[in-house]
Amino acid sequence: GGGEGGLMGRMKQELTECKGSKRVRWGREGRRLRLKEGEHKDETSLLRLFLDVLGKGTFGEVAKCWKRNTGQYVAIKILKNDADRKRIARYELKMLRILKTVDPDEFHLVRFFEYFSDDAKFYLVFELLEKNLFEFQKENNFSPLPVQHIRTITTQLLRALQKMNDLSLIHADIKPENIMIVDQMQYPFRVKVIDFGSASVLEGFHFSFKGAYIQSRFYRAPEILLGLPFCEKVDMWSLGCVMAELHLGCPLYPGNNEYDQVRYIVETQEQPTDRLLNLGSKAHYFFKRNTHPHSLHEWQLKSVTEYQSETLVQPLETRICILKSLDQLVRVTLFKTILPDSEVVARVHDCKNMVGLLKRIELLDIPPAKSKSQLHTAVSHKQSLIDVTDLLLLLFIISVLQHWYYPFQ
């Protein structure tokens, strides 16, 4: 059968006897070939064996598969072949075909092999990677990642985002689950970006609208939350959130709903300008007109009580680490280390000076490639009593997140 009890239910059996058959249509050749229980045959008559279900996402599931002729393991993303998911699968396939024009290893993008379908499911075949960053964090009890490793990961992700930008693509779902470690033993902290099911081709500026699923909530950019025009810069916001999460060991803005998400951002980074709120199609969900005659702002954030009264939804406090400003990201690192008092004072002094200097650099308005270049340039400098390399990365996180991006401002 082709339902939930069909192929996906059988994947958990590593070796099974052939009890039945179904027909499968391969995308490249369009030829019909027989698919037996526990195994199926491709157009070159080479057997593949389904081994295990690796995970489930919003729109599909991923299975581990073994290609018998080469001994190669692959990952197969499986989506239901209904009208909605068929459209999603074909759109993702369109994105993957664009990405196939570049070297996936050089630009840290997952390698895509092929696709096929049957009456019940649609299958996308990728290289098998080790684990995603969320799984890595979980295995390490969500301990903060040393900054030098965050720097290694960030440099690769900037390269991936720059190449996507060159191809006029927006990923629109950068998060730890979509950043895969390739092989931690052989290539420590070498990563690749996966899951292009939410990606889109950039043709001018996109407009967000109510009900659209764009970006996972913890990593959702302010322009998406507020209903503003957006472009590839939303991926940079998500990257900043991921970097901060690796540094803290917990999500920076773990909102239970969009109001909590906006509230957390405002409490740490202040509210966006009146110009942005006037233009945002969703701003009125979270903000109200300011009735105070002497206020400097036209808008103010709705209180928790007001939001609950209007929506009957109770806002929650889900933050483990609450920052009054992004500057505190630097202090979090400094005071995790036991240092002599004199060194702590010296480092704090240097941090304040460098924060004041580098926060003025609006890195979010700079393409990923130039951000990467600035990162490497500053890394080449040396300074006593402080690791400039580590500090610069933290300031890069701050710079990315502190800038409420809007293209016409």
Phi then psi for 139, rounded to 5 degrees?
-60, -30
Q: Where are the domains of the chain?
A: 45-128, 131-405
Q: What is the predicted pLDDT for the residue at 17?
A: 29
Whether 129 contacts 182, CB under 8 Å? yes
Q: Output the CA torsion 169→170→176→181 (10° steps).
A: 10
b/e 231-262 (16+ beta carbons within 10 angstroms → b): bbbbbbbbbbbbbbbbbbbebbbbbeebbbbb
| Cβ-proximal residues to 254 (8 Å cutoff; 6+ apart), any chain | 218, 264, 318, 319, 320
The whole-number pLDDT of residue 167 equals 94
Name residues of the chain where pLDDT drops below 50: 1-47, 209-211, 334-335, 337-340, 344, 347, 350-351, 353-367, 374-386, 404-409
pLDDT of residue 242: 94
Is domain 45-128 in CATH 3.40.190.80, yes or no? no
Q: What is the predicted pLDDT for the residue at 50?
A: 66
Q: What's the CA gap between 291 and 405, in Å, rounded?
A: 27
- Would you state the pLDDT for residue 25? 37
> Please, what is the Cα angle at 109 between 84 and 54, to 5 degrees?
60
Q: What's the angle, vertex CA 248, arms to CA 247 and CA 250, rounded to 5?
A: 120
DSSP conformational letter for 106: T
Q: Which two tokens stand for residue 223?
A: 């322009």
Catalytic amino acids? 173
pLDDT value at position 96? 96
Binding-site residue set for ATP: 77
From 1.10.510.10, 1.10.1060.10, 1.20.200.10, 1.20.1440.20, which CATH number describes the 131-405 domain?
1.10.510.10
Residue type, 35: L
**pLDDT tens per residue, range 71-123:** 889 999 988 888 777 888 888 999 999 999 999 999 999 999 988 888 888 88
CA distances from 334 to 199, 379, 390 (A): 37, 18, 11
Alpha helices (runs of H) in 129-185, residue ranges in sequence order: 133-139, 147-166
Please tell me the predicted confidence (pLDDT) of residue 320: 92
- Three-state secondary structure of 47-102: EEEEEEEEEECCCCEEEEEEECCCCEEEEEEEEECCHHHHHHHHHHHHHHHHHCCC
Taking the alpha carbons at both ends of the chain, their separation in whole angstroms is 56
How far lies 217's CA from each of 69, 131, 237, 244, 247, in Å? 42, 22, 12, 15, 19
Assign residue 15 a region (left: φ > 0; alpha: ψ between -120 and 50; beta: otherwise): beta
Are the C-beta atoms of 195 and 373 separated by less than 8 Å? no
Distances (CA, A) of 343 to 59, 147, 189: 51, 19, 30
